Amino acid sequence: MEAEIRPEPHSEERAAILRALESMRARDGLSAAYRSRWRELGIRESSDEAEESPYGETGRPRNSPGASRA
How many CA atoms within 13 Å lie on the side-chain side of 25?
8
The confidence band for 13, taking pLDDT boundaries of 50, 70 and 90, is very high
Domain parsing of the chain, residue ranges: 11-51
pLDDT of residue 58: 59
Mean pLDDT score, 20-26: 82
Residue 69 has pLDDT above 80, yes or no: no
What element of type H or E holds 44? helix 37-52
Return the higher-pLDDT residue of 7 and 57. 7
Cα gap 36→20, rounded to integer Å? 19
User: What whole-number percentage of the chain has pLDDT above 90?
Assistant: 20
